[in-house]
C-alpha cells in the first residue's frame, strides 16, 4: 500500500515520532538505556521498519511497537483511500491529482468530507491498537457525542460496529444515523455483564457508558454489594480487553468521574470504577473549554497514556447545530 504522508505525519508527530534531519523518514527512538533502536516510517521508500544496530527489520511479530506502528499506517491508508499493492495505477503521472468521484463513489465515501469523522479511527488506533480506550468526563462534556462520531466513521468506512447504550443517550434520530450498527440498550449491570461475555465478532465495540448503571444503584448498596459491583466492573473491562485481542478490534468505553464525596482537597478525580481503569490501554478526558448558545468547545486530553504526558491535548471537539467536529 502507498503511505499517505499528509494523513500520517500529524498522527506520527502526536505519537512522539520526529523527522530525521528534515528527510522523509519519521522515527521514534527506544527509551531503554544503552539500547540503540528506533522505529520509523520512510515515505520515500514506502516502508515501515525497525532499526536495529546497523540495519532495518520489517517483520518482528514480537515487537509490539512495530506491530502497532504497522496497524496505525494500515488504518490511516484505509481512511485516506490510498491504493493497495494489488491495485494498479493507470497513470502514474496523475497519482497526485485524484479524479472527481462518481455518484456511486460519493454515496459510499461521503464520510471522508465530513469533518466529524476525519481520521478519528486512525487516531484512536494509533494510540491503543487492538485494545481498550476509556473516555471519561463530567456530564455534558461530550463523551456520547465522541462515541457517536467514532461509530459513524466506522460504519461509513464499512466496519462492523456494536453499540451498547446504558443511559438512553441516543435519540431515535441518532439511532437512524447509526444504520448498519448493531445497537442495544440496557441500564442493568447484570445484563451488561452477560452481553459483554458474548460480544459479536465486529470491528468496533462501543459502550456508553460503563459506570452509569453502577452509579445509579450505588447509593442503595451495602458495603459488600458495592465491592461486588466494582469487581464486576473490573471483570467487564477484562472481558473487553480479551475481546479486543481475540478479535483484533477496538473498544471505546465512556465513563463518569468518581464521586467528589470524602476526597482530600486537591485530589484528582479518576474514572469511576477503582482498579478497572488499569484495564484500559489509554484513558482520555473530555472537558468543556467554551460554551455558547450556538456551540460547545471541548478539549480531549490524555489522562493516563503510554504515549504522551498527562493532560497532553489529543483533539478538540466542537458540538453545534451542524453536528460534531473532531480535530486532532
- Grid cell, residue 65, equals 511497537
pLDDT top residue among 36 and 307: 307
| 199 CB-near residues (< 8 Å, 6+ apart) | 162, 205, 239, 240, 243, 247
> CB 13: neighbour CB atoms within 10 A?
13
Q: Is the pLDDT of residue 138 over 80?
A: yes
CB 38 within 8 A of CB 51: yes
SS3 category, 52: strand
Taking the domains of the chain in order of start, what are their residue ranges? 5-110, 130-327
- Please give the model's pTM, rounded to 2 decimal places: 0.63
Residue-wise pLDDT tens digits, 283-292: 999 999 999 9
Place 111 in a pLDDT band, splitting at 50, 70 and 90: very low
Q: In what order do the strands lie in the sheet with 18-19?
A: 18-19, 25-29, 37-42, 47-52, 55-57
Place 106 in a pLDDT band, splitting at 50, 70 and 90: very low
Q: Is the pLDDT of residue 167 over 80?
A: yes
Element (H, E) at 231: helix 223-247
Q: Which class is 130-327 in CATH?
A: alpha beta
Amino acid at each position: 500500500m502507498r503511505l499517505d504522508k499528509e494523513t500520517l505525519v500529524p498522527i506520527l508527530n502526536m505519537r512522539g515520532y520526529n523527522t530525521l534531519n528534515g528527510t522523509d523518514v519519521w522515527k521514534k527512538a527506544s527509551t531503554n538505556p544503552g539500547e540503540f533502536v528506533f522505529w520509523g516510517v520512510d515515505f520515500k521508500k514506502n516502508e515501515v521498519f525497525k532499526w536495529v544496530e546497523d540495519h532495518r527489520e520489517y517483520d518482528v511479530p514480537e515487537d509490539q511497537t512495530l506491530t502497532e506502528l504497522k496497524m496505525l499506517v494500515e488504518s490511516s491508508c484505509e481512511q485516506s483511500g490510498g491504493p493497495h499493492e494489488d491495485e494498479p495505477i493507470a497513470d502514474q503521472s496523475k497519482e497526485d491529482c485524484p479524479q472527481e468521484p462518481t455518484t456511486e463513489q460519493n454515496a459510499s465515501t461521503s464520510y471522508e468530507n465530513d469533518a466529524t469523522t476525519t481520521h478519528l479511527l486512525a487516531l484512536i488506533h494509533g494510540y491503543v491498537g487492538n485494545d481498550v480506550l476509556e473516555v471519561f468526563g463530567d456530564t455534558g462534556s461530550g463523551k456520547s457525542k465522541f462515541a457517536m462520531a467514532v461509530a459513524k466513521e466506522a460504519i461509513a468506512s464499512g466496519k462492523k460496529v456494536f453499540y451498547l447504550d446504558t443511559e438512553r443517550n441516543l435519540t431515535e434520530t441518532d439511532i437512524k444515523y447509526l444504520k448498519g450498527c448493531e445497537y442495544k440498550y440496557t441500564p442493568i449491570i447484570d445484563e451488561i455483564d452477560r452481553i459483554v461475555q458474548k460480544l459479536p465478532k465486529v470491528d468496533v465495540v462501543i459502550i456508553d457508558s460503563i459506570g452509569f448503571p453502577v452509579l445509579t444503584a450505588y447509593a442503595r448498596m451495602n458495603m459488600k454489594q458495592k465491592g461486588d459491583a466494582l469487581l464486576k466492573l473490573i471483570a467487564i473491562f477484562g472481558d473487553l480487553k480479551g475481546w479486543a485481542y481475540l478479535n483484533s478490534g477496538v473498544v471505546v468505553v465512556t465513563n463518569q468521574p468518581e464521586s467528589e464525596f470524602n476526597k482530600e482537597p486537591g485530589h484528582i478525580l479518576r474514572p469511576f470504577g477503582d482498579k478497572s481503569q488499569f484495564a484500559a490501554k489509554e484513558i482520555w478526558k473530555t472537558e468543556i473549554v467554551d460554551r455558547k448558545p450556538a456551540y460547545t468547545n471541548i478539549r480531549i486530553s490524555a489522562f493516563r497514556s503510554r504515549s504522551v504526558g498527562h493532560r497532553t491535548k489529543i483533539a478538540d471537539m466542537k458540538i453545534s447545530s451542524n453536528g460534531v467536529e473532531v480535530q486532532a
